[in-house]
């Protein structure tokens, strides 16, 4: 991340979510504020030409993946709440809009958005431009996963560590060193019973085709140029084993077939996710 600058990858995925609202039917993620969150000029440009978001050969796959992972996180949050979870921690929230669409009152669900201070300040500017106010249920937690512990950041923000929480961690693990990914998973595993997590990660390039490895190289070059180099990838079975060893149960690893089966089956437009990233769900 360029010091003091907002995350460009956050803008990129938010643009995919907004484009999904305009281009895809049926929608996998219904997000009425996704466009507004981009700020008036970007929103207007995207409305005028939604395909302008398709800047690479993998743009459709990325759009599908970004929509699916948010949808899965929100579906799993619903399940967690049915079991009594009342705290939702959005790790590396970027321009995530769930807090603005949250149908639950603050007594039922408190939301904590964790991200770099510069990305949070930029999000507030965009929200102000769009006339979107932060709801009472939302608390911002400024933090760098590489420099501070999540436990300290959340404690300072008033998170109740004695009660279970649900964590979403979308599009963040690939930008962290493996130790930081493991430290965060370790922290979540130490949370009270009933806590859970949804996160996505990049698979080991050794498991990719030559074509996918070339694509990955291109993606890595673009994110590196914006100060967000790709830093970790995992082998799915080994990662699931690590979660089990940390004390997670009902660990579920969703690959391309599982994600497409869940959210993209029977579509006429052929929209679906690619193979390079998986989504993992685990419960404490």
Ligand X SMILES: C[S@@+](CC[C@H](N)C(=O)[O-])C[C@H]1O[C@@H](n2cnc3c(N)ncnc32)[C@H](O)[C@@H]1O
In the numeric block, the tokens 């999540």 are attached to 150
Q: Is-contact 146 121, C-beta < 8 A? A: no
Distance CA 124, CA 32 (A): 18
Task: Determine which residue in the list 61, 88, 112, 145 makes contact with ligand X, applying CB under 6 A.
Answer: 145
Task: Determine which residue in the list 79, 146, 193, 224 makes contact with ligand X, applying CB under 6 A.
Answer: 146
Task: Determine which residue in the list 39, 153, 171, 196 makes contact with ligand X, applying CB under 6 A.
Answer: 171
Nearest-CB residue for ligand X: 94
| Distances 14 to 60, 94, 122, 233 between C-alpha atoms, Å | 14, 8, 13, 22
Token pair of 99 as six digits = 């807090």
Task: Determine which residue in the list 88, 122, 140, 175 makes contact with ligand X, applying CB under 6 A.
Answer: 175
Token pair of 121 as six digits = 């300040």
* Binding positions for ligand X, 125-144, rule CB under 6 A: 143-144
CA dihedral 224, 17, 186, 167 (to 10 degrees): 150
Does position 119 interact with ligand X (CB under 6 A)? The reply is yes
Does position 272 interact with ligand X (CB under 6 A)? The reply is no
Minimum distance from CB of 237 to ligand X (Å)?
25
Minimum distance from CB of 156 to ligand X (Å)?
15
* Binding positions for ligand X, 29-58, rule CB under 6 A: none
SS3 for 202? strand
Distance CA 122, CA 186 (A): 30
Minimum distance from CB of 168 to ligand X (Å)?
7
Stretch that binds ligand X, among 32-40, 56-64, 115-123, 207-215 (CB under 6 A): 115-123
| Residue 177 CB neighbour total at 10 angstroms | 12
**Which residue's CB is nearer to ligand X, number 105 or number 229?**
229
**Which residue's CB is nearer to ligand X, number 11 or number 240?**
11
Token pair of 187 as six digits = 């922290």
Stretch that binds ligand X, among 3-11, 20-28, 191-199, 205-213 (CB under 6 A): 3-11
Does position 97 interact with ligand X (CB under 6 A)? The reply is no
Question: 208: which DSSP letter?
Answer: S
Distance CA 260, CA 39 (A): 31
Residues that bind ligand X (CB under 6 A): 7, 9-10, 13-14, 92-96, 115-116, 119, 143-146, 170-172, 175-176
């Amino acid at each position: 991340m360029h010091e003091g600058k907002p995350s460009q990858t956050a803008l990129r995925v938010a643009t995919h979510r907004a484009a999904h609202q305009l281009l895809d039917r049926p929608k996998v993620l219904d997000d009425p504020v996704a466009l507004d969150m981009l700020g008036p000029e970007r929103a207007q440009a995207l409305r005028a030409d939604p395909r302008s978001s398709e800047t690479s050969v993998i743009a459709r796959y990325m759009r599908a993946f970004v929509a699916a992972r948010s949808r899965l996180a929100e579906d799993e949050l619903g399940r967690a709440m049915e079991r009594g979870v009342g705290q939702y921690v959005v790790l590396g929230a970027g321009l995530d809009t769930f807090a603005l669409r949250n149908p639950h009152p603050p007594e039922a669900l408190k939301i904590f958005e964790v991200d770099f201070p510069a990305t949070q300040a930029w999000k507030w500017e965009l929200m102000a431009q769009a006339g979107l106010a932060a709801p009472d249920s939302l608390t911002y937690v400024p933090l760098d996963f590489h420099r501070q512990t999540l436990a300290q950041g959340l404690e300072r923000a008033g998170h109740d560590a004695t009660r279970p929480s649900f964590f979403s961690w979308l599009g963040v693990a690939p930008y962290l060193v493996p130790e930081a990914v493991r430290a965060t998973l370790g922290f979540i595993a130490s949370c009270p019973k009933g806590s859970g997590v949804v996160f996505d990660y990049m698979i080991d390039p050794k498991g990719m085709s030559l074509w996918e490895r070339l694509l990955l190289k291109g993606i890595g070059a673009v994110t590196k140029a914006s100060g967000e180099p790709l830093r970790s990838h995992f082998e799915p079975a080994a990662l699931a084993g690590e979660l089990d060893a940390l004390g997670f149960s009902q660990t579920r690893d969703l690959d391309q077939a599982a994600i497409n089966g869940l959210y993209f089956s029977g579509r006429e437009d052929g929209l679906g996710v690619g193979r390079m990233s998986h989504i993992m769900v685990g419960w404490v």
